[in-house]
Amino acid sequence: MLKSSFGLQTFTFTLVLFLSPMLTAFASAAEPETIVDLGAGINYAVFAGTEIINTGTATKITGDIGTSPVTLITGLTTDQLTSETTPANDDNTNLVQNDLITAYNNIKDRDNAKAITTNLGGQTLSPGVYSLNLPATVTGTLKLDAQGDINAVFIFQVNSTLITEKNSRIELINGAQFSRVFWQVANNVTLGEKTNFKGNILANTSIFSETDVTVQGRLLAITGGVTLTNTQVDMTEIVPLTDSDNTELPKPGDIPKIVEETPKIVEPVINIPQADNSPDSASAVPAIDVPNRVPANTSPVPAATTAGDSITLDGAGDTYKVTIDWGSMIFNYDLGTWNPSAHSWVGGGWDAAGFNGSNNQINIMNESTQPVTAAFTYTRDETYGGSTTGTFEDNNGNQTGIMELPLCPAGGPAPTASTYLKLQGQPAQIGSTPTKIGLISILLNSVLP
């Protein structure tokens, strides 16, 4: 008995996903907070308008230091510095102070702030602008939750003093970056013993750091001085502070991200194995027992490239010809409305218009001299597919993952069948341009007695 695998063919083509109009409108109404431009102050870990005074041998500063307009830096050795000590009253330090004044006013003038309790300890805050009209304190741990968005910005308008108690800490979670946290303080700042602080402090007057304080960010006192006691200040490995970063919405997780990229629309690819009719062959694909009805030397079938193309296997025996046609396979997913208290989107889902019986339709016509089967599977894309799943149904909602089409009678008409893709789950990322979310595979096989 001869064995052949000629009747096993796989078709794949790409599904694409468009951003829904509702999400576009929502994105426009909820622009992420822009960062604060520090100008020439971007390279400075410590800057003072009057003096920088250190009284601890364990102090370590990673980043430039400088003063302007007063010239006074005392208690620091070269071993405690990893960058430059900039002379005061030169063109650069004068520019730094002017740029820091501009940055300070930029924060102060933002009018979209939320008023919160002045004891920040024990709170978990989402990105945004916060206003505190009384002296602000941190007792215990303050958590800043970026909700999966590494571009999230946190801004604090402190219209009095800021004091962190002993052993207090600021914890950054879910992608929050200390380079994107800004503290505008109208009066003095005091960092208590063993405080672990995150962010960029722009104080109108002075900053006092008690012993064993760790700062990831910057200490910038515009008109006053900075006093350090065994303080570690490190501003390295900071995400570049550019407004262009804010073209992105949040990443997958609680808030999906908008993806800007070239559409990935791929034409169908058909993989047809070369027939192997040798008696002892061990084909890599399931073999079909054929009682001397298929020619021994069958050429590979030309690949179909567009909807409506057919595949033909012809010879002295039976003829196999199947024509496949499909809809646009373009689907819209609507995120719904963002609920800030629950940190989640509500009311979203797939737009029903994508499953209208035309866009999601696949038609198969069998012009073969033998019956064929068609098996449909959906495979989500590893990058953008998220939790999406796909099923195939007929007009009555019955599962049609596998269909059998009878042979084409002499003189026709050719038997036809249709199936319709239904999607569930949520894609990992939503884009304003088409984004590949998955593949449909159609496995065709001959059905012979």
pLDDT tens, residue by residue, 355-378: 888 988 888 888 888 788 888 888
Average pLDDT rounded to a whole number, residues 9-28:
39
- 383 token code pair: 């990058």
Kindly report each contact of residues 204-212 with a partner whose C-beta sits within 8 Å and lies 24 or more positions away, as own/partner: 204/104, 206/48, 206/50, 207/48, 211/56, 212/58
Query: How many angstroms separate the CA atoms of 329 and 1, rounded?
Result: 43
Stretch 172-188: mean pLDDT, rounded? 94
Q: What percent of the chain has pLDDT over 70?
A: 69
Whether the Cβ atoms of residue 428 and residue 386 lie closer than 8 Å to each other: yes
Q: Residues 292, 298, 304, 310: what is their CA dihedral angle, to the nearest 10 degrees?
A: -40
Q: What residues are paired with 9 via a beta bridge?
A: 444
* Residue 128: per-residue pLDDT: 93
Which residue would you say has higher pLDDT here, 251 or 365?
A: 365
pTM above 0.85, yes or no: no
pLDDT at 252 over 50: no
Residues with Cβ within 8 Å of residue 416, at least 6 apart in sequence: 363, 364, 365, 366, 405
Q: Any idea which of 28-42, 220-234, 426-440 has the lowest mean pLDDT?
A: 426-440
Question: pLDDT at residue 283 above 70?
Answer: no
pLDDT at 174 over 50: yes
For residue 162, give Cα distances in angstroms to 49, 122, 208. Answer: 19, 16, 10
77 contacts: CB under 8 Å, gap ≥ 6: none
What pLDDT is recorded for position 89?
57
| Percent helix / strand / coil, the chain, rounded to 5 | 10, 40, 50
Tens digits of residue pLDDT in 32-78:
789 999 999 998 999 999 999 999 999 999 988 989 888 789 999 98
Sorted by sequence, the CB contacts under 8 Å of residue 155 that are 6+ apart come out as: 33, 36, 107, 110, 113, 128, 129, 130, 181, 182, 184
Whole-number mean pLDDT of the chain? 74
Q: What is the pLDDT of residue 317?
A: 59
